[in-house]
Chain A
Amino acid sequence: MVPLLNDLELTGRNSYLVVMRILVIEDDKETASYLIKALGEAGHVADQVNDGEAGYDMAMAEDYDVLVVDRMLPKRDGLSLIAELRAAEKQVPVLILSALGQVDDRVTGLRAGGDDYLAKPYAFSELLARVEVLGRRSTPKEAETVYSVADLELDRLSRKVRRAGTLIALQPREFRLLEYMMKNAGTVVTRTMLLEKVWDYHFDPQTNVIDVHMSRLRAKIDKGFERPLLHTVRGSGYVLRDDG
């Protein structure tokens, strides 16, 4: 992963631009070339192969930050490709794309060694958000006990949140929501991702319940402070970052 700009500088796309090398293994040529183009426009470098065997060779030979793997591929299917990469100790994060979207399909995919699962059809913003969160995983955030963005600080051990030194009381779920946002600070996360990672729900609630949770959280951490940290990204989701 090559940080192009200083981590605190912003780009036109309203995100810290971290260029990722992404390999898209997808047999539908139109989908694949659309993905390559859109990922390129988002500031990443993406390669594309059309079948499982070429995908395996490329993934082994090059050093990618994220793989986007279609579940059904010619020559070698997506899941066995991932399983073999894992057997060869290749730890690159993998996003599985599949037309099968049920919970048990997802479980099978993740068990094969995938890191995230996205059912078709999907919005590109959803795919981009997931790819960027996966790519960030390469940084050792898991090991950090204190997350901080600007003057907001979250202590994962004492479960305390402070903004400019002032203690903020959060409900357990709000804490987990903020923890997830801070862990992925600077990266856009979608509503579906929040529902999956924070609530562990894999269904689509008919009403947008996440928005209300977000506005509550925003009221607690941003209200009364000059610089808002929690931003809504239109058409995508949310991002936690210091706009400076």
Chain B
Amino acid sequence: MAKGGFSRLLRTTGFRLTAIFLAVFAIFAAFLISYIARNTTEILQADIRRAVDAELAAMALQYERGGPSWLARVVELRSRQPGASLYLVIGPDGSKIAGNVETVPDEVLASTGADAEIVPYVWLDEEGSRQRYSALVRVVDLPDRMRILVGRDISESEQLVRVVRRSLILTVALMVALGLVAWLFVSRRVLKRIDSIAESSRRFAAGDLAGRLEVTGTGDEFDRLAESLNTMLNRIERLMLGLKQVSDNIAHDLKTPLTRLRSRAERVLAEGKSEPEYRAALSATIDEADQLIRTFNALLTIARVEAGSSDAAFSIFDAAAVARDVYELYEPLAEEAGVALRLDSDGPVMVRANRELISQALANLVDNAVKYASEGAAHPQAVISVCREGGRVTLNVSDNGVGIAEADRGRATERFVRLEESRSKPGAGLGLSLVSAVAKLHGGELILGDNRPGLAAALYVPEAAAGHAV
């Protein structure tokens, strides 16, 4: 662990949680143990009280039977037994008559109550050493102004309380120690993983876009976190690359027509003499500006689609109906271009998607299909078909035009790539890359295949779940 590792350990969530749990369990244990201890002492002392009462009653009976001297004898006899209770018989003048207690404070003797009380006492053993104990003591008046005191030692029950108290402290201490060890172990492990995640993120933020978080393969929560963070990093990297590509492309492909526009204006300004010449130049300028605006709009749309900001406009609709609308839109154009445009679809196919974007993507594909079929085929035809297979909806557009060479198909969806055409022709080469971006936005894909001859473009979109069908 790095320098200052321990103070970092203290600042972890793990430490705070451990501390809270320790406190909660310590309070709980203290409550439980003290509750048990209290109840046990109470039960024990109640027993002792009863024993003291019983002994007093027996003594009173002995006194009734044999008078003071008999009582004194009984007391002396009992006093000498091992583990004897405390006894003291006091005469009318307050002097000791019998018993194993030397002296008693006056206030104890004065309180001839109904209940026994706890009184501290000193035990003198043979060696003369003093030991302090406490006893449960009760004093009762006898006839002839005599009094008797009977007491029982309660040190045992106090001992119990002490044992219980000590075990409580031990338990809590042990708990704290074990908790600390567990916390150290867990925190160090967790901190290590988190440090690795933090380190990778820092490297990524510092510009190492290829760096990813380590996935250990245990499938624990850190792996899951690392995996979702990696997905995020992938997306960020893709967006960054996309942004770079867009700016490169803007620089490259918007500057060219802008330069053309500018030089034309300059030339006409320098050479142009007649009004028709100015007019022609201006209208060419407007056309060029319109083309620039179109290109710019297409770029913006692709960028926005790729950024996924059109999510809000998702709805559930019938892809076959969208295909029919696009078919209807292009059918007259195809007919005029001499292309036989056909629509194959069987019944509604529900998708959850952005209707506008799917329409636009399909329109782009159909536009291309009609354009290329009309240029390169003896009997030009194009087919739009919609089908559903294995949870995916496929929007196919195929033509029998020149097609795209297999080697070029991957490149064809990149921005501004127009394979065999010169850039002066209309269509800025953004059509297929928009379709591809739309497919990706919906979690689908655009696959360009061979129609032998011609191009078969397949736009895959996930089917709307059955429960969503409207």
A is bound by B: yes
Question: Which stretch (A9-17, A74-82, A197-205, A224-232) binds chain B?
Answer: A197-205
Most chain B CB atoms below 10 A, which of A107, A202, A206: A206
| Total residues of chain A contacting the partner, CB 8 A | 22
Instruction: Answer yes or no: B356 CB below 8 A from chain A CBs.
Output: yes
Contacts of A204 in B (CB 8 A): 294, 297-298
What residues of chain A lie closer than 8 Å to B294, measured between beta carbons?
A: 204
Of A29-37, A41-49, A98-106, A155-163, which stretch is located at the interface?
A98-106
Q: A101-B297, A104-B310 are in contact. Are A206 and B364 (CB under 8 A)?
A: yes
B333 touches A203 (CB 8 A): no
A199 x B301 contact (CB < 8 A): no
Closest B-chain residue to A119, C-beta based?
A: B297
Which residues of chain B are within 8 angstroms of A121 by Cβ–Cβ distance?
289, 293
Q: How far is the CA of A207 from the CA of B360 in the complex (A)?
A: 12
A203 pairs with B427, CB closer than 8 A:
no
Contact of A202 with B333 at beta-carbon distance under 8 Å, contacts A103-B313, A207-B367 already known: no
Whether a CB of chain A sits under 8 angstroms from the CB of B363 is: yes
Residues of A contacting B277 in the complex (Cβ-Cβ under 8 angstroms): none
Question: How many of chain B's residues have a CB under 8 angstroms from any CB in A?
Answer: 32
| B325 interface residue per 8 A CB criterion | yes
- Which of the residues B313, B363, B371, B426 comes within 8 Å of A203, measured between beta carbons? B363
Indicate if the CB atoms of A207 and B371 lie closer than 8 Å.
yes
Kindly state whether residue A212 has any CB partner on chain B within 8 Å. Answer: yes
**Is B58 located at the chain interface by the 8 A CB criterion?**
no
Let me know if A173 is at the binding interface, CB within 8 A: yes
Q: Which of A199, A201, A202, A209 contacts B332 (CB 8 A)?
A: A209
Tell me the smallest distance from the CB of B162 to a CB of chain A, in Å.
77
Q: Does more than half of chain B's interface fall in helix, strand or loop, or is it mixed?
A: helix
Does any Cβ of A come within 8 Å of B328's Cβ? yes
Determine the distance from Cα of A216 to Cα of B285 in the docked complex, in whole angstroms: 31
Contact of B329 among A102, A123, A209 (CB under 8 A): A209
B336 within 8 A of A: yes
Q: B260: CB under 8 A from chain A?
A: no
Give the distance in Å from the alpha carbon of A212 to the alpha carbon of B338 in the complex: 13
Q: Mark B368-386, 1 if CB is under 8 A from A, else 0.
A: 0011000000000000000
Supplied contacts A173-B328, A207-B367, 15 more A-B pairs, CB within 8 Å: A101-B300, A102-B304, A103-B313, A103-B356, A104-B310, A104-B313, A121-B293, A123-B286, A123-B290, A201-B329, A201-B363, A206-B427, A206-B431, A215-B332, A216-B332
Residues of chain B at the chain A interface (Cβ within 8 Å): 286, 289-290, 293-294, 297-298, 300-301, 304, 310, 312-313, 325, 328-330, 332-333, 335-336, 356, 359-360, 363-364, 367, 370-371, 426-427, 431
Sample 10 A-B pairs with CB under 8 A, ordered by A number: A103-B356, A107-B313, A173-B328, A201-B356, A203-B301, A204-B297, A207-B333, A207-B370, A212-B332, A212-B336
